Amino acid sequence: MSDKLKFGIIGCGAIANIKHMPALKSFSGKLEMTAFCDIELERAEKTKSEFGGSDAKIYENYQELLKDKSIDVVHVCTPNNSHSEITVAALRAGKHVLCEKPMAINPEEAKRMLDAAKETGKLLTIGYQNRYREDVQFLHDACEAGRLGGIYFAKAHAIRRRAVPTWGVFLDKEKQGGGPLIDIGTHALDISLWMMNNYEVDSVTGSVFHKLNNKPLANRPIPFDPAKFQVEDSAFAFIRMKNGASIFLEASWALNTTDEREAMCTLYGTEAGATMRGSTMKGTSNTYINGEDFGKLYELELQAGNDIPFFAGMKEDPNRAEVRHWLDAVLAGKELVVKPEQAYQVTCILDAVYRSADTGKTVYF
């Protein structure tokens, strides 16, 4: 009898097959994927054929999967509007859960997830894999060590010039709850809050725009259908924390700019500042720390990787690192890197941006 952890996957679309499955497969010595569920049974069958064993089961209804008491861990990779329902059911069925970002479509549903985790004692984390990037880890270590001093202002960047996702349900407001703000803005906001270690929000003022959703031709990789574009194309917010610190959040799938920065932040501290430049979508990222020493200004650039010829080094893929830390928490009781309480605050802020944009008023916490 195998002593490996048994994993069930609910939602077998692109995020499961591109992110979760390959990362999980790389830990085949510690786990096995024994159940695959999707409302389109063919997708579950295809995912099983590539990542599951011959004995793995497929399901069309997630509730049937959760009845299998042998399953230890569930990954929820479904559209945003079903995150809460499935996660709560999985926790109450005795499973540990990693749910894709964002935590939920609104704070009320996210709170149900928090409560279910506390009631059951099962682990819950959210898929903010950008925390595990080499540059993000370096900058977080610098912040934790006090290199930047007190961080009193930050910019959270999630900007694409023309890259509206044309697959899945990204443009469906009912299923996703929003567009680039809730899709990629959530990563930038999560990183910024984590760097600042500041989750006490005072107020949020937001603006949401639908300005370029009728200009599909220059979109990468293929044009989108304007008739299906139900969500915003860009959103911006000013977030004030209770200690007086502030964050400017920018998120867009389509914007007339050449400054593309996705899942990145700029930090302003009392001792130094930090800037992340480039685009994770394009595979480019440069991190700089700037400040003053001995009356002179300086700027330091983080050099990623190594320069040894013919040696790739030990750089770890963020998706794999996410699973490694997740397994450490499940198997060894180590601390979660992404705590559900932190992800809950991100959801609260995103919701406040949309509410502020709808009413034209600042939302106070």
| Low-confidence spans in the chain with pLDDT less than 70 | 1-2, 279-283, 304-314
Separation of alpha carbons 207 and 256, rounded Å: 17
pLDDT single digits (tens) 273-289: 999 987 666 667 789 99
Task: Annotate 300-355 with three-state secondary structure.
Answer: EECCCCCCCCCCCCCCCCHHHHHHHHHHHHHHHCCCCCCCHHHHHHHHHHHHHHHH
Domain boundaries, given as residue ranges, for the chain: 5-127+320-334, 131-294+346-364
pLDDT single digits (tens) 87-121: 999 999 999 999 999 999 999 999 999 999 999 99
User: In sequence order, what are the residues at sequence separation of 6 or more whose Cβ sits closer than 8 angstroms to the Cβ of residue 31?
Assistant: 4, 5, 6, 7, 24, 73, 327
Would you state the pLDDT for residue 311? 44
Same topology, domains 5-127+320-334 and 131-294+346-364? Answer is no
Would you state the pLDDT for residue 136? 95
- Fold adopted by 131-294+346-364: Dihydrodipicolinate Reductase; domain 2 (3.30.360)
pLDDT single digits (tens) 183-232: 999 999 999 999 999 999 999 999 999 999 999 999 999 999 999 999 99
Architecture of domain 5-127+320-334: 3-Layer(aba) Sandwich (3.40)
Would you state the pLDDT for residue 316? 86
